[in-house]
Amino acid sequence: MKALFVHSAKDLRLSDIPRTAPGPGEVRLRLSRGGICGSDLHYWRHGGFGTVRLREPMILGHEVAGHVVETGPGVTGLEEGQLVAVSPSRPCGDCPYCLQGLPNHCLNMRFYGSAMPFPHIQGAFREELVARAAQCVPADGLTPAEAAMAEPLAVCLHATRRAGEMLGKRVLVTGCGPIGVLAIQAARRAGAAEIVATDITAAPLGFAKAMGADIVLNTAEDPEALAPYSAAKGWFDVQFECSGAAPALAAGIACLRPRGVVVQLGLSGDMSVPMMQVTAKELELRGAFRFHEEFATAVTLMSKGLIEVKPLLTQTFALNEFETAFETAADRARSMKVQLDFTA
């Protein structure tokens, strides 16, 4: 069985790993699709992000969907051949944070494809995967490509919950990669009245406009594009910062009204924050990290056609074309979401 390992920056290798049988409460899946995420790109480009660094070879990937091949003892509700979206979130359920209802902060989290702990948590870019049955959400009515989008959508649903009440709010989204564009849809579904999106590349802004942004602004072409929104202490109620870039965070803070909320999603290392403005305008800076229960909700919203992800699926490559897939995913001018096809 093949799996895609990252050994260091710009060193991806397709290697053989043994197949395993499912134990009690587990299922064996034949994976179909896997989306290349921003964190996968960070490991490939730089060997990590911020203080998180690769210290051993690691299987990449956490946005996956596949079909049930075999169920272990005690598994009910899943059948052979069934398509499922696989949540990479595997909290222990017993640590203080899990018991407080904060499973995304589990002290013993085993999130697929993460170099945060050591030994690293191996990821899901492999031909077969043994997963807990509780991680597998039936994806009836979806294609495997759509089902694999449940993970990034869950990230955005969690961020929307972190933002608080959205009905009638004016929202700024900075950074229009897959997370930014899905955040636009999640905010609109939650009741946002006006959504303005910014990016430094034209192609992502086209997706943002097509997926529901009222106004899109290219801040590379016009660095002062947001200036009108900073008058009278600001215009926006909420900023979803999805780029991980300090200039985008600062530009958004300048445009937030007093007591507005910044939700930081983008991860690229430490960022400087204009604390004087945060203090003077009494802003709230909230992090949004991963998700847990939102994963099943993401599948439901897609299944009911309430959030559309198909237009974001721009390219698909066979697993053995991984080099081309990663190079394409890194080119924001020609891709939005690139997926690997494990069945090709």
Over residues 24-43, the pLDDT tens digits come to 999 999 999 999 999 999 99
CA dihedral 18, 24, 30, 33 (to 10 degrees): -110
Q: At what angle do helices 38-46 and 322-329 cross, to 10 degrees?
A: 110
Over residues 320-331, the pLDDT tens digits come to 999 999 999 999
Asked if domains 2-149+309-341 and 154-287 share a fold, the reply is no
* Secondary-structure class of domain 154-287 per CATH: alpha beta
Over residues 169-223, the pLDDT tens digits come to 999 999 999 999 999 999 999 999 999 999 999 999 999 999 999 999 999 999 9
Q: CB of 172 within 8 A of CB of 313? A: no
Give me the residue label for tokens 């499912």: 22
Q: What is the pTM of this model?
A: 0.95
66-69 long-range contacts, CB within 8 A, separation 24+: 66/29, 66/30, 66/31, 66/32, 66/33, 66/129, 66/144, 66/342, 67/29, 67/30, 67/32, 67/144, 68/27, 68/28, 68/29, 68/136, 69/27, 69/28, 69/29, 69/30, 69/128
The architecture that CATH gives domain 2-149+309-341 is Alpha-Beta Complex (3.90)
pLDDT at residue 236 in the model: 98
For the chain, domain boundaries: 2-149+309-341, 154-287
For residue 293, what are the CA distances in angstroms to 154, 171, 265, 296, 326? 8, 24, 18, 6, 29
